[in-house]
Amino acid sequence: MAKILIVEDDPLILRLYQKAFSFEGYEVETAANGEEGLEKVRTIIPTIVLLDVMMPKMNGLQVLEKLKAYPETHNIPVIVLTNLAGQNDSERALAMGAVKYIVKSEHDPKQVVDMVREILAGYTRSEVPQAVNLTKS
Amino acid sequence: MNLIIIVLSGVLIVFAVLILLVVLKLRNLQEERDNAELKLKERTFQLQEEQARFHASVTNLPLGYLMTTVGGTIFTLNDTFKKIFGIEHSIVTVGEIDKLYPPLNLTNHLRICIEDNKKIIVESGFGQKYLHIFISPITLEEQKIIGAVMLFEDITDSVVLERSKDEFFSIASHELRTPLTAIRGNTALLKQYYSDKFNDQNFSEMVGDIHDSSVHLIQIVNDFLSVSRLEQGRIKFDMAKIDLVREIFKVVEGLKNEAAAKSIYLKFDNNNPVWVMADKVKLKEVLINLIGNSIKFTEKGGVSINIEINNDFQKVKVAVSDTGIGIAEEQRSLLFRKFQQAGQNTITRDATRGTGLGLYISKLLVEGMGGEIRLENSEAGKGSTFSFTLKDVKV
């Protein structure tokens, strides 16, 4: 089963998604800030990363930049999960190589799980796209 | 002898008359001179008065004041100017101010004002200060420009206030949305994974109500933030050539379940693309609002969407018609105002679960794209037609 890493500083939201993914049978790992998140991606090598934007120590976009810069992590798909509804943020995250941008308050957790499932299904059918192409757009 | 006397006396008389005339003339001249002097005094006094008035006006102006020649040599400036710029010593030219605060570039603004011979308003600043600068040419008759007047308004306080207001809204909306997301998410999980444990119908209803309320609250927070940003002009419109028909189909597709749930029709027939200039995301929001409203207020019949192309005005009109409850005459004028919902007084308004901001936001969005939104017609009990325009683009 796919291994999900959730990087989120708000404990309630973290627990919420942890439950939602566990209920659907996913293996879930968590990190409470950007630094810890980056560290865990490197040690765990998850199937997919759910990344919050506003976080202490290192924000989500900085984590994303680092993940895309290293060859051992740049193929791991990253979904940016946030509550900042600005359209510019979503464009920025996608330009930096995120596969999807989800506004947390707009969806029930099950819908987020379904989106992740859809993305993972797409990735297993065809190879993971080269993130390099995405970052340079 | 007699003749001599006659001649002499004649000459004397002529002299006497001449002298008299001279004296009279002199006296006249004296009077005229006196008059002129008096007038001059009066005029000087008037000038002094005028100068005093002008001086008092300039000195007491709450704006920085500066009068300069065409070439930028300073004639007059007031204390407010010195205070705004923190200048103690005397300055002679506009160029000196530019040297102290390079981003201002007053010389350039002055040049533009003189060249175009018209009043200009510049928003500028230096350091932590924000200024409104008004520059106006001083013209003599027949367009001869002899200089310019510059007024400086220190708007730092209002800019700072505006900023903190926007920051407050951004932070507040983020801080509110996070706990609301937790409420929404957890109640959704309860409904989805623990429904078998809901033996009591009241219990399951209560969980459902908490969930629906959180969704509603999130919508309100989003609307408040949108309004605040739109009113402050902080929302950017990315205008591009887009196919209106395609966008309407997408929205209709997204809302068809809602219409189907009420057993009403949702109709839009159009096969050929119609190109307009619009911001895709904002257009979608307006369409969702208008069509969504129509579905919400219609119980029988349905909703249809039509496109009208007006070639004369290069405009495309989108009309959303429904066979719903309609809007009473007296409510129509309030439709596009903030927090207004037609037919809803403050006690009953929450029945429709709206925020009363939908049409107001749509109006700001449509106007931001250069169009107009209005209620075309409405009849209580028969339905309403709302329309908005967009700029047409020739392919």
**Domain at A16, CATH number:** 3.40.50.2300
Mean pLDDT of the B32-39 span: 90
Architecture of domain B240-392: 2-Layer Sandwich (3.30)
Contact criterion met (CB below 8 Å) for A93 and A64? yes
**Inter-chain residue contact B189 with A110, CB threshold 8 Å:** yes
Domain ranges across chain B: 59-154, 159-231, 240-392
* Nearest Cα residue in chain A from B217: A105
Distance from CA of A70 to the nearest CA of B (A): 31
**In the structure encoding, which two tokens stand for residue B205, read together?**
């209803």
With tokens 């003749």, the residue in question is B3
pLDDT at A50: 95
Sort out which chain A residues have CB atoms less than 8 A from B193's CB and list them: 23
Sort out which chain A residues have CB atoms less than 8 A from B225's CB and list them: 85
**Inter-chain residue contact B178 with A108, CB threshold 8 Å:** no
Contact criterion met (CB below 8 Å) for B318 and B385? no
Classify residue B249 as exposed, middle or buried by CB count within 10 Å of its CB (0-12, 13-18, 19+).
middle
- Interface A–B counts its CB contacts (< 8 A) at 52
Sort out which chain A residues have CB atoms less than 8 A from B177's CB and list them: 83, 104-105
Distance from CA of B182 to the nearest CA of A (A): 6
pLDDT bin (cut points 50, 70, 90) of residue B346 is very low
Contact criterion met (CB below 8 Å) for A67 and A38? yes
Architecture of domain B159-231: Orthogonal Bundle (1.10)
Please, what's the b/e burial string for B66-82 (b: 16 or more CB within 10 A of its CB; e: otherwise)? bebbeebebeebbebbe
- Strand pairing class (B144-154; B129-140): antiparallel
Angle at B45 between CA B40 and CA B51, to 5 degrees: 125
How many Cβ atoms from other residues are within 10 Å of residue B311's Cβ? 9
B2's CB contacts (< 8 A; 6+ apart) are none
Question: Which residues are paired to B282 by β-bridges?
Answer: none
Q: Is the Cβ of B177 closer than 8 Å to some Cβ of chain A?
A: yes
B334's CB contacts (< 8 A; 6+ apart) are B340, B342
**Inter-chain residue contact B225 with A54, CB threshold 8 Å:** no
Q: H or E segment at B387?
A: strand B383-392
With tokens 């998604």, the residue in question is A17
- Structurally, chain A folds into a number of domains equal to 1
pLDDT tens digits, B200-246: 888 888 999 999 999 988 888 888 888 888 887 778 888 989 999 99
Query: d(Cα B319, Cα B290) in Å, to the nearest integer?
Result: 9
- Chain A residues contacting B, CB < 8 Å? 10, 12-13, 16-17, 19-20, 23, 54, 83-85, 87-88, 104-106, 108-110
Q: Which of B156, B169, B154 is nearest to B231 (CA)?
A: B169
- Indicate whether A134 pLDDT > 60: no
pLDDT at B278: 92
Task: Name the phi and psi angles at A56, rounded to 5.
Answer: -75, 165
pLDDT at B349: 40
pLDDT at A83: 80
Sort out which chain B residues have CB atoms less than 8 A from A54's CB and list them: 174
**Inter-chain residue contact A12 with B182, CB threshold 8 Å:** yes
Query: Which residue in the set B174, B182, B193 is minimally distant from A13, CB to CB?
Result: B182
Ranges of H-type helices in chain B: 2-60, 79-85, 94-100, 106-116, 156-193, 201-231, 244-261, 280-296, 358-368
Q: Is the Cβ of B160 closer than 8 Å to some Cβ of chain A?
A: no
Classify residue A37 as exposed, middle or buried by CB count within 10 Å of its CB (0-12, 13-18, 19+).
buried
ipTM of the complex: 0.81
Contact criterion met (CB below 8 Å) for B101 and B124? no
Backbone conformation region of residue B339, classed left if phi is above 0, alpha if psi is from -120 to 50, else beta: left
DSSP assigned state of B277? E
Q: Is the Cβ of B10 closer than 8 Å to some Cβ of chain A?
A: no
Kindly report which listed range (B106-110, B123-127, B353-357) carries the lowest average pLDDT score.
B353-357
**Inter-chain residue contact A110 with B182, CB threshold 8 Å:** no
Mean pLDDT of the A95-104 span: 90
Q: Which of B91, B45, B87, B84 is nearest to B61 (CA)?
A: B84
Angle at B341 between CA B340 and CA B346, to 5 degrees: 80
The alpha-carbon radius of gyration of chain B (Å, integer) is: 38
The average confidence (pLDDT) of chain B is 86
Coil, strand or helix at B80: helix
Query: d(Cα A34, Cα B371) in Å, to the nearest integer?
Result: 44
**In the structure encoding, which two tokens stand for residue B283, read together?**
């257009």
**Inter-chain residue contact B188 with A83, CB threshold 8 Å:** no
Q: Which of B167, B173, B177, B230 to mutate to test the interface with A (most CBs of A within 10 A)?
A: B177
pLDDT at A12: 93
- Strand pairing class (A48-52; A3-7): parallel
pLDDT tens digits, B246-290: 999 999 998 999 899 999 999 998 888 899 999 988 999 999 999
The domain in which residue A108 lies consists of 3-135
pLDDT bin (cut points 50, 70, 90) of residue B350 is very low
Architecture of domain B59-154: 2-Layer Sandwich (3.30)
Angle, helices B201-231/B358-368, rounded to nearest 10 degrees: 30
Query: Which residue in the set A16, A104, A105 is minimally distant from B186, CB to CB?
Result: A16
**In the structure encoding, which two tokens stand for residue A4, read together?**
């999900």
pLDDT bin (cut points 50, 70, 90) of residue B125 is confident
**Inter-chain residue contact A83 with B281, CB threshold 8 Å:** no
pLDDT at A136: 35
